[in-house]
């Protein structure tokens, strides 16, 4: 049932304030603590995390790497499952292995999990389907509470994965005493405010549609982001390729001058994801390099960022302000809506893109 929407994907995008709220409700206690017990997982037992997943779920892992390293001071390695499983990576006994999967049935992710059995200190999964193979074979499975996701392109599962991973990071920071009580409380109240901010972003739907109409004529699109916004650039590019069939690539903004800037001319839209955070000026200078080569920039930023830097850009998309750490969750919304409206403008099969399956149970 599409609940009045043209596609499951738009229904699932619109559901995000609700399901993110549900996920937050499951992982925060009324007293403002993280609802994951130390019997279940104790981060003082690990000195390293490996995170393994495929596709969009791997971008959730990559985002969590920035959080784990900055907030909980734990080193994290992220790998795509198809590479991890055959590389025979050494897993030291104080390693926590984390597997993220919407379906819980992805063959490569499951094989990677089995490889870690008997090697890692603990096997944790973050899944949407609690009865799935990956959930059953983990020491601990954390459900994301996104509800059934029908659209092949993952949307609400991604943002709910991020919410659960963020809660896990806060638990890690508490266990490892890398966070002050005050900073912890700030993050908790930021999380509680997130559903309302996501709703505000969804109100920008018409602006996203306008930007998508422009994108729909492109043959190639670049996405740029720096720091924790880099994985979001990857996610934006993947969503666009999957459902609109436009060739899209993402780069860490700082990598631009090491090659990809050679691609930029007046035909290449460049989507820049840049909330006004500590790295904003760096990203803006990369964006200006693009504009100097006549690249058409779509700047996604908050009102402060737009006011400082949208001179000469092709199109601006204004996001509501958000606490820095949670910006990746918010900026998933424009990534999804740009891809969605571009696909609709091109008339592709949004919910069932060619050559793709919802659950990849063969390698």
Tokens (6 digits) for 335: 């990534």
Shortest distance, position 103 Cβ to ligand F6R, whole Å:
3
Distance of alpha carbon 159 from alpha carbon 234, whole angstroms:
14
Measured from the CB atom, is 74 or 339 closer to ligand F6R?
Answer: 339
- Which of 103, 342 has the CB closer to ligand F6R? 103
Tell the smallest beta-carbon distance from residue 27 to ligand F6R (Å). Answer: 19
Closest by CA to 325, choosing from 63, 33, 48, is 63
List C-alpha distances in Å: 109 to 2, 20, 147, 213.
Answer: 30, 24, 21, 36
Task: Tell me which residue has its CB nearest to ligand F6R.
Answer: 55
Question: Length of the chain, please?
Answer: 363
Listing from the earlier edge strand, what are the strands of the sheet with 296-302? 247-252, 220-225, 269-273, 296-302, 315-319
Backbone angles phi, psi at 126, to 5 degrees: -125, 110
Q: Token pair for residue 147?
A: 């509800």
Strand, coil or helix: what is 250?
strand
Instruction: Identify the residue whose tokens are 């803006």.
Output: 284
342 CB burial (10 A radius; 0-12, 13-18, 19+) = buried
Look up 239 and say whether it is catalytic: no
Minimum Å gap between C-beta 77 and ligand F6R is: 18
| Distance between CA atoms of residues 250 and 283, nearest Å | 14
Nearer to ligand F6R, 28 or 232 (CB): 232
State the catalytic residue, choosing from 214, 241, 282, 358.
Answer: 358
Residues found near ligand F6R in the complex (CB under 6 A) = 54-57, 101-103, 106, 109, 153-154, 238, 242, 359-360
Q: Which is nearer to ligand F6R, 111 or 291 (CB)?
A: 111
With beta carbons less than 8 A apart as the criterion, state whether 326 and 226 touch.
no
Between 228 and 336, name the residue whose CB sits nearer to ligand F6R: 336
Considering beta carbons, is residue 27 or 99 the nearer one to ligand F6R? 99
Least distance CB 57 / ligand F6R (angstroms):
4
- Quote the CA–CA distance of 111 and 115 in Å, as a whole number: 6
CA atoms of 250 and 241, how far apart (whole Å): 11
Provide, rounded to whole angstroms, the least separation between the CB of residue 208 and ligand F6R. Answer: 17
Q: Which of 116, 121, 124 is nearest to 144 (CA)?
A: 124
Q: How far apart are the first and last CA of the chain?
A: 31
Q: Cβ of residue 262: shortest distance to ligand F6R, in angstroms?
A: 28
Question: Which tokens is 241 given?
Answer: 């390729």
Asked if 117 and 123 touch (Cβ cutoff 8 Å), the reply is: yes
Q: How far is the CB of 153 from ligand F6R (least distance, A)?
A: 4
Q: What is the DSSP letter of 214?
A: H
Residue nearer to ligand F6R on the CB measure, 5 or 358 = 358
Q: Tell me which residue of 47, 44, 40 sits closest to 94, measured CA to CA.
A: 47
Catalytic residue positions, numbered: 358
């Amino acid at each position: 049932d599409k609940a009045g929407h043209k596609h499951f994907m738009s229904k699932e995008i619109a559901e995000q304030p609700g399901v993110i709220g549900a996920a937050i409700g499951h992982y925060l206690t009324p007293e403002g603590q993280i609802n994951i017990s130390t019997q279940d997982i104790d981060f003082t037992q690990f000195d390293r995390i490996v995170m393994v997943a495929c596709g969009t779920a791997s971008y959730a892992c990559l985002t969590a790497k920035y959080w784990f390293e900055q907030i909980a001071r734990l080193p994290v390695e992220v790998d795509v499952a198809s590479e991890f499983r055959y590389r025979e990576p050494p897993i030291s006994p104080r390693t926590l292995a984390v597997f993220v999967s919407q379906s819980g049935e992805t063959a490569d992710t499951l094989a990677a999990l089995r490889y870690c059995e008997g090697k890692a200190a603990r096997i944790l999964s973050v899944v949407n389907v609690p009865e799935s193979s990956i959930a059953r074979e983990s020491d601990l499975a954390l459900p994301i509470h996104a509800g059934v996701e029908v659209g092949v392109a993952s949307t609400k599962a991604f943002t709910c994965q991020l919410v659960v991973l963020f809660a896990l990071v806060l638990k890690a920071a508490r266990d490892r005493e890398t966070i002050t009580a005050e900073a912890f409380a700030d993050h908790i109240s930021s999380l509680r405010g997130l559903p309302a901010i996501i709703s505000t972003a969804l109100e920008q739907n018409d602006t996203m549609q306008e930007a998508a109409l422009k994108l729909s004529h492109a043959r190639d699109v670049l996405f740029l982001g720096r720091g924790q916004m880099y994985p979001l650039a990857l996610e934006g590019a993947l969503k666009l390729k999957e459902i609109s069939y436009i060739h899209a690539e993402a780069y860490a903004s700082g990598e631009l001058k090491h090659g990809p800037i050679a691609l930029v001319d007046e035909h290449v839209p460049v989507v820049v994801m840049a909330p006004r955070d500590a790295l904003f000026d760096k990203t803006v200078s990369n964006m200006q390099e693009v504009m100097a080569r006549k690249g058409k920039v779509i700047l996604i930023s908050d009102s402060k960022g737009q006011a400082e830097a949208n001179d000469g850009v092709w199109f601006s998309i204004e996001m509501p302000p958000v606490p820095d750490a949670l910006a990746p969750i918010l900026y998933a919304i424009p990534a999804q809506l740009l891809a969605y409206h571009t696909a609709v403008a091109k008339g592709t099969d949004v919910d069932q893109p060619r050559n793709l399956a919802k659950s990849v149970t063969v390698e």
